[in-house]
Amino acid sequence: MKHQLQQKFNEIYHKEAQHAYFSPGRVNLIGEHIDYNGGLVMPCAITFGTYLLISPNQDNVFRFKSLNFDENPEVNVQDSYKKDNDGWFNFPLGVIEHFTKDGHKITGLDMLFFGDIPIGAGLSSSASIEVVTAYALNELFNAGYDKLELVKIAKSVENNFMGLNCGIMDQFAVAFGEKDKAIVLNCDTLEYDIVPSNLGKYVLAIINTNKSRKLVESKYNERVEECQTALKDLNKELGLEYLCAINAATFDKHKNLITDEVVRKRAQHVVEENDRVRLAADALAANNLSEFGKLMYASHDSLRALYEVSGKELDAVVEYAKTNPQVAGARMTGAGFGGCAIALVHQDAFGTFSKELEAYYTDKIGYAPSVYQSLIGDGVGTLLVSSEA
């Protein structure tokens, strides 16, 4: 892969790339839509991700080139940068803006990006490109940030430059992920454990519904606001910093403080999902995959019925999974509204699972999903840049 990219870089820029970096995407095993509520989440980095080959130039210009998109803009080095419509290059541009605003002198760069994560499918292609850019700039310009600071920069780019009020899970996962490990992250304190993602006889399937997601930003930001309303209502009597500061039993006692029925449902999901993550972490540590799977199903049901971020495509995947005794559990992963689901499938049954699911889904939805067996990989890092590598 790197060798081909180095050749491409050569073709485009007529020189060698001096540096190369990779940042993965992620799946979230459980703990959905609770990172921005101070909850516990359990993501893993995957082996799909974003490559960045980069060399400084003397031309005072940022050249953004991607093998995934036709748009290849050039932006002059300036004192500040603004988001430019919906172009893919806004993610790295936002990172450049952040470093510049923080007082780092970011000079001209020739960049080549390539991603093998399905784009916009809920596997954090955005966090991946943000984090790989932040990591590269940090190294090239000796900015001196540690990894957690880079994660916070990437999140701030998503929030302030791109306008999505997301939590910290995705950027954290793609930076701190480790091969064959899951992260149990407390999004309030940012304390985390790296735990073995010991799936025993099961493998992790990623099912891309291939439903193009629309209006994700506005619906996502609407959910964030609903959670803020719920918190305000609960704080008529309680003094909570986040919704996830209480468990389901406490929520039950006070839920009537929340006046709007829809907002109450949203808060119920958040609080119960947080409890589920604790149980899921215990189940994983005890190698109890069947319990883990049940919690995945419960998570999906809650995201469908209470949080209303699923859809007929994601539901079809989970409906099929429930009919197959070789599947321990399945759920949507990421923001939802289309995108990807994950399933824990017995290793001997993966082939049949794929085939049957494809048939079931195509019959119901009218087009095929894409089914992958996912490997859990390492977080962001440097790649060696020899054209032989």
Active site residues: 170
Tell me the three-class secondary structure of 78-104, residue by residue. Answer: CCCCCCCCCCCCHHHHHHHHHHHHCCC
Q: Residue 315 interacts with ligand GLA (CB under 6 A)?
A: no
Q: Residue 36 interacts with ligand GLA (CB under 6 A)?
A: yes
Q: Residue 25 interacts with ligand GLA (CB under 6 A)?
A: no
* Residue owning tokens 């619906």: 219
Interface region with ligand GLA, contact rule CB under 6 A, candidates 166-174, 190-198, 244-252, 358-366: 166-174
Nearer Cβ to ligand GLA, position 215 or 249? 215
Exposure of 381 in the CB half-sphere (CA atoms within 13 A): 11
Contact 24, 48 (CB under 8 A): yes
Interface region with ligand GLA, contact rule CB under 6 A, candidates 135-143, 163-171, 227-235, 364-372: 163-171
**Calpha distance 123→106 (Å, rounded):** 29
Query: 33 among the known binding-site residues?
Result: yes
Q: Residue 335 interacts with ligand GLA (CB under 6 A)?
A: yes
**Calpha distance 179→273 (Å, rounded):** 26
Query: 386 among the known binding-site residues?
Result: no
Residues in a beta bridge with 19: 54
CA 356 to chain centre: 27
Nearer Cβ to ligand GLA, position 221 or 387? 221
**Calpha distance 217→196 (Å, rounded):** 33
Contacts of residue 193, Cβ cutoff 8 Å, sequence gap at least 6: 183, 184
Q: Residue 33 interacts with ligand GLA (CB under 6 A)?
A: yes
Nearer Cβ to ligand GLA, position 126 or 326? 126
Quote the least distance from Cβ 167 to ligand GLA, whole Å. Answer: 4
Contacts of residue 375, Cβ cutoff 8 Å, sequence gap at least 6: 46, 47
Nearer Cβ to ligand GLA, position 32 or 226? 32
Quote the least distance from Cβ 206 to ligand GLA, whole Å. Answer: 14
Q: List residues forming the annotated binding site for ATP.
A: 66, 120-126
Contact residues for ligand GLA, defined by CB under 6 A: 28, 32-33, 35-36, 166-167, 169-170, 334-335
